[in-house]
Structure 1
Amino acid sequence: MSERDTKLDGCWRLVSFDTELQDSKERTQPWGGAPNGHLIFGSDGRMMVFITATAREPGNTDEKLVALFRTLIAYTGRYRIDGDRFITKVDASWNEAWNGSEQERFYKLDGDTLLVFTAWMPNPLVPGNPIGRAVLSCRRE
């Protein structure tokens, strides 16, 4: 296990955020075709993720504030590499339940393209919670 993969160092702009169902391989874009966000891997071993859905409205009501929370992923922590995975020890997150956890992601690096995959797990966004995963595609900035 290595501590870092220096090829990840830098800022990566999110190009797409898909969910994929394991059985059918069907992919959808639950946050729209042009989500906003970045993954940043620092040379000091810290990474940060900030992702928002394509269409969001200002949060001037409780309902809109909840919608903003549900269309955001943001966390940071120190990361390490283990084979084809990076594992982040989360020390700050948009979701308090993630603080102190380890978030494991699989990745494939091809030049200026970074693909990031979550593990296969029940998808809470789909009725019946079929097994699925998130797939992020990023380009180096």
Structure 2
Amino acid sequence: MSAPGAGSPHGPADGLAGVWRLVSFHTLAPDGALRPGPLGDSPTGLLFYSGTGHVAVHMSPAGGPHEYLGYAGTWRREGDRVLHTLNLAPRPEWLGSVQVRLLELDGDRLTLTGTALSTAERRVLVWERIGHGAP
């Protein structure tokens, strides 16, 4: 049995392993404008990338989980993209899906852009590193 994310090394060299705090979550309008995402103006969240190829994300509106978004699975990086394969999700149709995110990494600031899980809308999430992962 191969390790999660086999075929792509994971660890500090990837620049992603660690714990990330959600800074902003926006929907990208067709005209390129940013508008609030589904969790409102000030969402809160954590993103975990392990050095062994596991990923977990948890997000909710600030002030309480009136709505909660989250999933877990494995990840691998391919150049300027990160791919999340979902093994645990709140909706059965998400299980096994591969979510592709364009990534921009600038020191401890990570921007992920991709299509929403349940709509065709484009989302832009900005994360700030708050801890480094163990390899």
TM-score tier by shorter-chain length is 0.7 to 0.9
Q: Greater CA radius of gyration, 1 or 2?
A: 1
Aligned equivalents of 1:116, 1:104: Cα separation in 2: 9
TM-score if structure 1 supplies the norm length? 0.75
Aligned equivalents of 2:78, 2:128: Cα separation in 1: 22
SS of the residue corresponding to residue 93 of structure 2 reads: helix
CA contact (8 A) 2:110 2:126 kept: yes
Indicate the percent of aligned positions where both proteins have the same amino acid. 30
Greater helix proportion: 1
In structure 2, the partner of 1:64 is: none
In structure 2, the partner of 1:96 is: 92
Task: Identify which of 38, 62, 70 aligns with 1:74.
Answer: 70
1:91-120 deviation line (CA, Å, top 9, x unaligned): 10122211111111111100010000004x
Aligned equivalents of 2:94, 2:45: Cα separation in 1: 19
In structure 1, the partner of 2:128 is: 139
Task: Identify which of 105, 110, 128 aligns with 1:109.
Answer: 105
Aligned equivalents of 2:83, 2:9: Cα separation in 1: 10
1:83 matched to 2:79: yes
CA contact (8 A) 1:3 1:79 kept: no
1:59-104 deviation line (CA, Å, top 9, x unaligned): xxxxxxxxx4xx3221111111112111111110122211111111
Aligned equivalents of 1:21, 1:132: Cα separation in 2: 8
In structure 1, stretches of 5+ residues that fail to align are 58-67, 125-130
In structure 2, stretches of 5+ residues that fail to align are 1-6, 131-135
Task: Identify which of 2, 12, 27 aligns with 2:8.
Answer: 2
